[in-house]
Every structure is written in C-alpha cells, then in structure tokens.
C-alpha cells in the first residue's frame, strides 16, 4: 500500500504515473487543466485570479514534469485568459511540452457563447496560435456541443483535418463524443485522444467506451475526474453520501486526500487514461501530481468501482 505522504521531503513528479502517446507525442499521464488558472469559475466574468499565482502554478507544473497542458481560447474570466497566462509563464516553451486546446465553442468578450461553423474553425485555431505565441498547435480537440447528441461531426472534423494537412495542427482529438462519432472522425483522419467526462460512478456505457479506446490505442482523457457531479463548480460539490464515505476511507488508509484518491482511481482505469486536473493553487498542483504515485489495492478499486449506478 502506498502512502503519498509517507516521505514528505520527497518530491513526486509527473513521471510517477507513467507515460502514454498522443500520436507521435509522448506525455506523462498526469497533466494540468488550465481552466481554473483564470479564476474560481472560468465561465463567468467575476473576480479574476491572482496573475502571479497562476504563473507560478504553470512554471511549477513544468518543474514537476507536467508536459501536457489542456487549455482553450474560451477559458477566460475578468482580466485573465488561460492561453495568455501560458504564453506569459512558459516561453521559451520547453522541448516536449504538449499544449492541447479545443475548438468549436467560442465566447465573445462579454462571455456569451457561440458555436463555430466548419468554415470558422480556422479562425479559432489561429486565435489559439496568436494567444499562445506559436506557429502550430500540438493537439486540437474538436469539442462537440451536447445538443449534437449522436449527430454527424464529419463536416467540422473534416475542416480540422484540412488544417492538420496545412501544418497548423499536429494531432487531432475529439471531445464530448459518442463511439459512433469517434469512428466517424477516424474515417477522416487519425484521432489520438477522446476527451469525455468520466469519474467515480460512471455508467456501464462510459466504462465500455473507455475500454474500447484503450483497445484502439486511443488515449482517454477524462475531464471532471475530481469534480464529478460538481463539474465547473469544483470538487466541493462532488459526490456525497456513500460515495464520499468510500473515498474518505481509502484516503485515510493511504494518508491521501479525497481528490488524490479520485485521480488515482481514474489513472487505474487503464494505461491509456490521462488525467488533466485543473487548479490555480500551487499546493493543490503538487498534491495532484503526487496522486500519480498512489497505488490502490484491488479491493479498494472494487469498492470504489461498485459506486456506479449499475454496481460497476
């Protein structure tokens, strides 16, 4: 049994969780989600985050071996933009750092949402390039709107494939998709990752999709792995009841936090599963990275997995 606080003087780095490949790119399985760098809630225009603290988080993440940062041009709050914080903190960008972004959704400066047409995706890609100060994007995920359900995404994904062929994008992924939409995209161009919501309590269909991605060599990148049902509101709104009690029991056994247990459970779902926990707090960042060294027992995994509505 591993206790993540057994050696408080030892710094755990992101390579403790192992690596996976995103096409021709290899990353550590613990990454960083950039949404929370802009403020406590990135999708409203309230009080901005502390700029220097967010820059410190980004630089410390790289020091800890994080080489996969997930961002988007629509991650902004009052006075803060995740892409611009990254561009301020990290250039010259280290070799091997993979910055993933996503397109299709957009936000006006007022915060109002809009959804791009296939023809507008190039503009969204170019906006990410400008904000990040790069001449190409390592990885672009096509973020499918929930209202699309199981509808075709071929026209939008085909537009992204054209941008990849033009050299503006290196690798492509899909987000918030069904298995049929993944297959549709794969018929157009290589897909290196699926970025879908996933965490404790995931239903059978989601678990099967995760396994299917692994069988195909496609990375599965869960979002809201810590927050769960709390979603953008954060981990404080996650779980509750029997779920929280089970997580706390495992956390106590390992000298870990509930968030670390949730991250470890996520990583235990398969070697192709990557984690991109978001935080604007340097201490939370270090704890998230340390979760990559947490090894859960088979009994603990079974107990946590049984929290799914169908019993896991």
Active site residue 75: yes
pLDDT at site 189: 98
Tell whether the model's pLDDT for residue 231 goes beyond 50: no
Segment 25-54 mean pLDDT: 86
Segment 176-202 mean pLDDT: 97
Tell whether the model's pLDDT for residue 248 goes beyond 70: yes
Instruction: Label residue 44 by pLDDT band (50, 70, 90).
Output: low
Cβ atoms of 307 and 242 within 8 Å: the answer is: yes
Segment 131-153 mean pLDDT: 95
Backbone angles phi, psi at 139, to 5 degrees: -150, 130
Rounded-to-integer distance, Cα 226 and Cα 235, Å: 6
CATH architecture of 14-305: Alpha-Beta Barrel (3.20)
Strands 169-175 and 137-143: parallel
pLDDT at site 230: 47
Segment 115-137 mean pLDDT: 98
Tell whether the model's pLDDT for residue 303 goes beyond 70: yes
State whether residue 194 is helix, strand or coil: strand
Rounded to two decimals, the pTM is 0.92
pLDDT at site 241: 83
Segment 91-109 mean pLDDT: 97
92 cis-preceded (ω within 30 degrees of 0): yes
Rounded-to-integer distance, Cα 262 and Cα 223, Å: 12
Tell whether the model's pLDDT for residue 97 goes beyond 70: yes
- Catalytic residue, candidates 74, 75, 76, 265: 75
- Tell me the two tokens of residue 232: 């953008």
Rounded-to-integer distance, Cα 204 and Cα 259, Å: 23
Question: What are the extents of the domains in the chain?
Answer: 14-305
Instruction: Provide the 8-state DSSP code for 118.
Output: G
Bridge partners of 115, per DSSP, are 105
pLDDT at site 47: 75
pLDDT at site 43: 63
Instruction: Label residue 309 by pLDDT band (50, 70, 90).
Output: confident
State whether residue 227 is helix, strand or coil: coil
Rounded-to-integer distance, Cα 297 and Cα 188, Å: 41
Q: Higher-confidence residue: 121 or 230? A: 121
- Tell me the two tokens of residue 302: 């079974």
């Amino acid at each position: 049994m591993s206790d993540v606080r057994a050696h408080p003087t030892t710094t755990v780095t992101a390579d403790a969780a192992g690596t996976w490949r995103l096409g021709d790119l290899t990353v550590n399985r613990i990454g960083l989600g950039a949404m929370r760098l802009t403020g406590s809630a990135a999708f409203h225009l309230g009080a901005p985050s502390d700029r220097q603290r967010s820059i410190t988080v980004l630089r410390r993440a790289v020091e800890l071996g994080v080489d996969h940062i997930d961002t988007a041009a629509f991650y902004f709050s009052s006075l803060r933009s995740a892409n611009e914080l990254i561009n301020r903190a990290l250039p010259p960008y280290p070799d091997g750092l993979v910055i993933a972004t996503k397109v299709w959704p957009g936000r006006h400066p007022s915060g109002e949402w809009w959804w791009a047409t296939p023809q507008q995706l190039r503009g969204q890609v170019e906006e990410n390039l400008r904000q990040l100060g790069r001449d190409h994007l390592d990885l672009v995920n096509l973020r499918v709107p929930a209202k699309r359900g199981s509808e075709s995404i071929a026209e939008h994904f085909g537009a992204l494939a054209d941008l990849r062929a033009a050299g503006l994008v290196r690798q492509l992924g899909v987000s918030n998709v069904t298995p049929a939409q993944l297959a549709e995209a794969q018929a157009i161009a290589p897909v290196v990752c699926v970025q879908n919501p996933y965490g404790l309590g995931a239903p059978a269909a989601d678990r099967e999709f995760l396994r299917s991605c692994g069988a195909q060599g496609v990375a599965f990148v869960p979002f809201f792995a810590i927050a769960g049902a709390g979603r953008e509101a954060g981990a404080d709104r996650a779980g509750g009841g029997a779920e929280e009690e089970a997580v706390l029991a495992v956390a106590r056994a390992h000298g870990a936090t509930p968030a670390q247990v949730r991250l470890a459970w996520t990583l235990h779902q398969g070697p192709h599963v990557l984690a991109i926990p978001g935080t604007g707090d340097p201490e939370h960042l270090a704890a998230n990275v340390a979760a990559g060294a947490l090894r859960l027992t088979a009994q603990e995994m079974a107990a946590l997995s049984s929290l799914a509505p169908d019993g896991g």
